[in-house]
Amino acid sequence: MRYTGLVVIQYLLVFVHVVVCLFLIIVVLLQSGKAADLAGAFGGMGSQTAFGPRGSATLLSKATTISAIIFMLTSISLSIVATRKSGSSVGPVLERHGAKPTSTAPATPQPAQQKK
């Protein structure tokens, strides 16, 4: 079986997409919430800063941002490749794939039967 360039790109994008999905799931699950301390359980802000206890971006939050961007890019790329691979053209799907609609006459109603 001979692979064209578009098929190889699609398989590569699907592989990268799945790896990034798994990585994103793991990174998000490893992060703790903003109010994970004891004060957060009772509605406290933790530290008394204007925007809460959130400090500078950690390694996990940077990894989450980068993997989310890669996830979005691979999603868009896969949709573009799928559209090009299908050879989309103007017109209905049935006309593109050679299916010819059959023209049939509408059914004629049967006369009502008389009750005896």
Burial category of 20 from C-beta neighbours within 10 Å (exposed 0-12, middle 13-18, buried 19 and up): buried
Q: What is the pLDDT of residues 68-77, one digit of tens each?
A: 999 999 999 9
The answer to whether position 79 is within a domain reads: yes
The answer to whether position 67 is within a domain reads: yes
State which residues form the domain around 19: 9-33+57-87
The answer to whether position 64 is within a domain reads: yes
Please give the share of the chain, as a percent, with pLDDT higher than 70: 60
Provide the CA 113 distance to its chain's centre, in angstroms: 57
Contact 65, 11 (CB under 8 A): no
Q: What is the pLDDT of residues 29-75, one digit of tens each?
A: 988 766 555 555 566 555 555 545 555 578 888 999 999 999 999 99
Q: Mean pLDDT score of the chain, rounded to an integer?
A: 77
The backbone torsions φ and ψ at residue 41, rounded to the nearest 5 degrees and listed phi first, read -70, -25
The answer to whether position 51 is within a domain reads: no
The count of structural domains within the chain is 1
Q: How sure is the predictor about 17, in pLDDT bands with cuts at 50, 70 and 90?
A: very high
The answer to whether position 26 is within a domain reads: yes
The answer to whether position 65 is within a domain reads: yes
- Full-prediction pTM beyond 0.85? no
Contact 31, 2 (CB under 8 A): no
The answer to whether position 70 is within a domain reads: yes
